[in-house]
Chains A and B, each alone.
Chain A
Amino acid sequence: MTTDTPRPPPRRSLFGAWGPRELKGLFWQVLVVGIAVGVVAFLWSNTVTNLSARRITTGFAFLGREAGMPIADSLLAYSPRDTYLWAFVVGIANTLRVAVIGIVLATILGTLVGISRLSANWLLSRLAAVYVETLRDIPLLLQLLFWYVLMQALPAARAAWRPVEGVFLSNRGLILPAIPFGPPQLWVLGTAALGLVAFYVIRRWLIAQQMRDGRPRPAWPFALGLVVALPAAVSLVLGVSWTIEWPELRGFNFVGGLTLAPEYFALLIALVTYTSAFIAEIVRSGIQSVPRGQWDAANALGLRRSFMLRQIILPQALRVIVPPMTSQYLNLTKNSSLAVAIGYQDVVSVANTTLNQTGQAIEAIALIMAVFLTISLSISFFMNWFNARIALVER
C-alpha cells in the first residue's frame, strides 16, 4: 500500500454491480432475516410435531393443575396440593429473597473490602487483596458446594454452636432471634416509609431555598420527626408490640425465632462473598478515579472529613462505581439460579421440576426467561435512574 504505482481498482464484491448501496443492504437483510426465520420455523415445526407425538398440549393450562412438588423452605404458605402457578410464585419469592438480601449484604461487604484494599495499613490492604483474588478465581458453584458441605458438617441441633446468646448455628441452619411480624408492625413500617418520602420532598425544598439565599437549613429535625417520631407515635397509639422472640431448643428442634435453612444460608454466603469480591474491585477503582487534586482542594477549603467524603469524594466516585455495580447486581440475581445444585427451591429449580413432571419445556423456560428479564429490567431501570441522578451535570 505504500508504493506509488497505480493499483488496479479494488475488486468489486459479488453484489457490487447491482448498483445503489441500499439495494445491497436490502439483499443482505433479506438473506439474514430469511435464514433466521427459516431456522426458527424449522425448530418450531419440529417442536410441534414432537410435542404432539408425546401428547403434550402446549399452553399454560398446566399452571392450574396440582403441583405435587414439595418446597421445603418458603416465605409464602405452600403445600404440595397447591397449583403449579402458586409453586412458581413461591419460587419467585425465594429467588427475590436471596437476591435482594444478597445484593444488600454484598454491597456492604464489598464496599468494606474495597476500602480496606486502599487502607494505609499494609496488613489490612494485603488481606483484602488476598480475599478478592481467592474468591474471584474459584468458580461460584464450587464455592457454593463447599459452603453447603460445611453447613452439613455442623453439629446437630442439640450441640448447636452459640456464637452469641440467642443465635444458634447447627446443621438445621442459622437460627436468629426475631420480632414476630404482622399487620400492626406493617402499619408502623408503612408510616415510616411515607415519612421518608415526605422528608425527601422537604429536603429538596430546603436545598432549593439554600440555592436561593445561600443560607444552609438543617434537615435533620424533619428526618427525626417524620421517620422516627411519627412511626413511634403510631406504634404507641396502636399499641404494637416489638418484643423479640428468642429461639430455644425443645426436643430435637428449635422453637421461635427466625430460621435460615442450610440451603438458603449456604447460597446466601456463597453469593455474598463471591459478589463482594467483584464489588470491592469496583469500589476501589471508583475511589482511585477521584483525582488527588479533589482531596487537596477539599482539604484546602478546610472542610470537615465527613463533609468532604460525603459531598466531594463520594459523588465523584459513584459516577464510576454505579454502572459496573448494576451488572454485578444482575450477575448476583442470575447466579442465584445455582440454587438448584444444592436443592434450594428458587424459580429455576421449580421450573426444572415442573419441566420434568409435565414435559412443558417451552412454557417452563419461557417463564424463567420472563421472570429474569423482569428482574433484570427492574434492576437496570432503578440503577439507570440512580445513575442519572448522580451523573455529572455540565453547567
Chain B
Amino acid sequence: MTAITDIPDAPRAARRPQAGNPVLRWLRQNLFSSIPNGILTVVLVAILAKGVFSFLQWGIANAVWLTPANDSSACRAARGVGACWAIIPEKYRFILFGTYPFDEQWRPAMSVLLFIALYFLSTRRALWRRELVYLWIGALALISVLMWGGVFGLSFVSQDRWGGLPVTLILATFGLAFGFPLGILVALGRRSKLPAIRSLSVLYVELIRGVPLVSLLFMASVMFPLFMPAGFNIDKLLRAQIAIILFAGAYLAEVIRGGLQAVPRGQYEAADALGLSYWRKHRLIVLPQAIRHVIPPLVNTFIAFFKDTSLVLIIGIFDLLTTAKTAIIDPAWQQFSVEVYIFVAAIYFVFCFAMSRYSRSLEASTASR
C-alpha cells in the first residue's frame, strides 16, 4: 500500500522548482523521490540485473544457434546451461506450415502475408467504407484459392494437410468475418421488442457464454456426427471453425449490444420519423454509430479471440500451437520445448501486441474528439 500513497503527490513533486542536471533530476523524481522509494529501486535493480543476466547467459552467451541438420548433440551438451535456438531453423517450416507439401509452402506463406495486409488495410480509417467489405471477400477468396489450389495450375491440397500459422489465422479471421454479422443480428434480436426473438437471442448468448470454449470444441468434434444424418460428415477443421464462429458471435453480440445502448434514443426516433424501415434504420443510422462507440472493446474481443483459437489443440487440429507441440515430439529434440514455446509465444505476441497498440491509439483518438 505504500505505492498508492504516491499518486496525489506526484504532480506536486513535478511542480517543485528543480535545478541541476536533467538526468539527475529525472532519476530523483522518478526513482528516488523518497527513502522507501529509493530502497525499492535498489532492490528492483538488483533482482532485475540478476534475472536479465542469467537469462542472457542462458539465451545468448551459452546458447547453441546452429547445428548440422537433424543433429542435436551440441544442444544436448549445452542442456541446462544454454538455450538450443538451433531447434528453430531445424523445425520452423513445420511449426509455421505444418504438413503442407514442402515444395508448395510458398502458398501458405503468401496467404499469411495476404492476411497481414488485410489486417493492416482494415486499420486505416480512410478505408472504413463499403469497399472494405469487398476487399475482405476478395482477399478471403484469394486465400482459399491459394490454400486449396486445384485451379490455375496449382495442385490441390486437402485441408487435412494444412497446418501452423495459416490455420490459426484462418480460424481467427473467418471466425471473425462470420461471427461479426451473426453478433450484429443477435445483438439486434436481444434488443428487439418481439418477445420470442428476444428470448431466443438471450438463450443463445447465455448458453454459449456460460460454458468454456473447450466444451464447445468437444461438442463440435465428438457430437457433430451424432447430430447429422447418417453418412453426412464434414471436415474436422470446418467443424471447429463453426464452433468458433458460434462462440465469437455470442461474445461479439454482447459488445455490440453495449454500443446499441449507447446510441441516443433521439436517433432511433429521428429514423422512425423519416419513415425508414427497421433494417434501413439500423443499417443507415443506428449501427454505424453503435459500432463506432465500441471499436476499442471490439478490438479487445478480437485479441481474446485470436488467442482462443489455440484451444483447437485440444481436439487435435494443427494450428500454430499444435504444430509447435508436435515438432518437439521428435526424440532428438524433445528436451527443447521451452525454446519452441518461446518462439511461438513471440509470434502470438507480435499479433496481439499490434492489435492492443492499435486499440489504444483508437481509444486515444476517440477520447480527444
A-side interface residues toward B, CB under 8 Å? Answer: 9-11, 13, 16, 25, 28-29, 32-33, 36, 43, 46-47, 49-51, 53, 115-116, 118-124, 127, 133-134, 136-143, 145-146, 149-150, 153, 287, 292, 295-296, 299, 305-306, 309, 334-335, 337-338, 340-341, 348, 351-352, 355, 361-362, 365, 368-369, 372-373, 376
The 16 sampled A-B contact pairs (Cβ below 8 Å) are A13-B277, A43-B227, A46-B229, A121-B30, A123-B45, A124-B41, A136-B303, A136-B352, A137-B307, A137-B356, A141-B313, A142-B310, A145-B321, A299-B8, A348-B218, A372-B212
Which chain A residue lies CB-closest to B229? Answer: A46
The CA-CA distance from A292 to B7 in the complex, in Å, is 9
Residues on A with C-beta less than 8 A from B356 are 133, 136-137
Tell me the smallest distance from the CB of B209 to a CB of chain A, in Å: 8
Residues on B with C-beta less than 8 A from A143 are 345
Select A28's contact among B194, B227, B307, B341, beta carbons within 8 Å: B194
Assess whether A140 is in contact with B337, with CB atoms less than 8 Å apart.
no
Which chain B residue lies CB-closest to A298? Answer: B8
Select A340's contact among B13, B45, B314, beta carbons within 8 Å: B314
* Majority-rule SS of A interface residues: helix
Interface residues on B, range: 35 or more
Tell me the smallest distance from the CB of B219 to a CB of chain A, in Å: 6
Assess whether B345 is in contact with A138, with CB atoms less than 8 Å apart.
yes
The CA-CA distance from A150 to B31 in the complex, in Å, is 34
Tell me the smallest distance from the CB of A103 to a CB of chain B, in Å: 16
Assess whether A120 is in contact with B9, with CB atoms less than 8 Å apart.
yes
Assess whether B341 is in contact with A120, with CB atoms less than 8 Å apart.
no
Residues on A with C-beta less than 8 A from B37 are 120-121
B151 at the binding interface (Cβ < 8 Å)? no
Which chain B residue lies CB-closest to A327? Answer: B209
Assess whether B349 is in contact with A355, with CB atoms less than 8 Å apart.
no
Assess whether A138 is in contact with B40, with CB atoms less than 8 Å apart.
no
B348 at the binding interface (Cβ < 8 Å)? yes
Select A334's contact among B212, B223, B352, beta carbons within 8 Å: B212
Closest 4 CB pairs of A and B: A120-B6, A122-B30, A137-B352, A119-B3
B1 at the binding interface (Cβ < 8 Å)? yes
Residues on A with C-beta less than 8 A from B338 are 146, 149-150, 153
Tell me the smallest distance from the CB of A312 to a CB of chain B, in Å: 11
Given contacts A123-B41, A124-B3, A124-B40, contact A372 B211 (CB under 8 A): yes
Tell me the smallest distance from the CB of A190 to a CB of chain B, in Å: 32
Per-position 1/0 for B181-200, Cβ under 8 A of A? 00000000000011111001
Tell me the smallest distance from the CB of B37 to a CB of chain A, in Å: 5
List residues 10-42 of chain B with CB under 8 A from any CB of chain A.
Answer: 10, 13, 30-31, 33, 37, 40-41
Tell me the smallest distance from the CB of A148 to a CB of chain B, in Å: 9
Per-position 1/0 for B290-334, Cβ under 8 A of A? 000000000000010001101101100000010001000000000
Assess whether A141 is in contact with B210, with CB atoms less than 8 Å apart.
no
Tell me the smallest distance from the CB of B13 to a CB of chain A, in Å: 8
B5 at the binding interface (Cβ < 8 Å)? yes
B262 at the binding interface (Cβ < 8 Å)? no
The CA-CA distance from A39 to B258 in the complex, in Å, is 29
Most chain B Cβ neighbours within 10 Å, of A133, A137, A338: A137
Assess whether B7 is in contact with A127, with CB atoms less than 8 Å apart.
no
Q: List 9 additional A-B contacts (Cβ < 8 Å) besides A49-B230, A352-B218.
A: A13-B278, A33-B196, A120-B9, A121-B41, A124-B41, A338-B311, A348-B215, A348-B218, A372-B210
Given contacts A141-B313, A368-B211, contact A120 B200 (CB under 8 A): no
Select A46's contact among B227, B307, B337, beta carbons within 8 Å: B227
Tell me the smallest distance from the CB of A194 to a CB of chain B, in Å: 30
Assess whether A120 is in contact with B214, with CB atoms less than 8 Å apart.
no
Assess whether B3 is in contact with A120, with CB atoms less than 8 Å apart.
yes
Tell me the smallest distance from the CB of B143 to a CB of chain A, in Å: 22
Given contacts A120-B30, A138-B345, A348-B215, contact A29 B321 (CB under 8 A): no
List residues 56-115 of chain B with CB under 8 A from any CB of chain A.
Answer: none
Assess whether B30 is in contact with A368, with CB atoms less than 8 Å apart.
no
Assess whether A139 is in contact with B310, with CB atoms less than 8 Å apart.
yes
The CA-CA distance from A53 to B231 in the complex, in Å, is 12
Residues on B with C-beta less than 8 A from A338 are 214, 311, 314
Assess whether A46 is in contact with B228, with CB atoms less than 8 Å apart.
yes
The CA-CA distance from A292 to B277 in the complex, in Å, is 47
Residues on A with C-beta less than 8 A from B128 are none
B135 at the binding interface (Cβ < 8 Å)? no
Residues on B with C-beta less than 8 A from A25 are 193-194
Assess whether B345 is in contact with A142, with CB atoms less than 8 Å apart.
yes
Assess whether B214 is in contact with A365, with CB atoms less than 8 Å apart.
no
B55 at the binding interface (Cβ < 8 Å)? no
Residues on A with C-beta less than 8 A from B278 are 13
Assess whether A145 is in contact with B325, with CB atoms less than 8 Å apart.
yes
Assess whether A149 is in contact with B225, with CB atoms less than 8 Å apart.
no
Assess whether B314 is in contact with A341, with CB atoms less than 8 Å apart.
yes
List residues 97-142 of chain B with CB under 8 A from any CB of chain A.
Answer: none
The CA-CA distance from A115 to B3 in the complex, in Å, is 7
Residues on A with C-beta less than 8 A from B193 are 25
The CA-CA distance from A337 to B41 in the complex, in Å, is 39
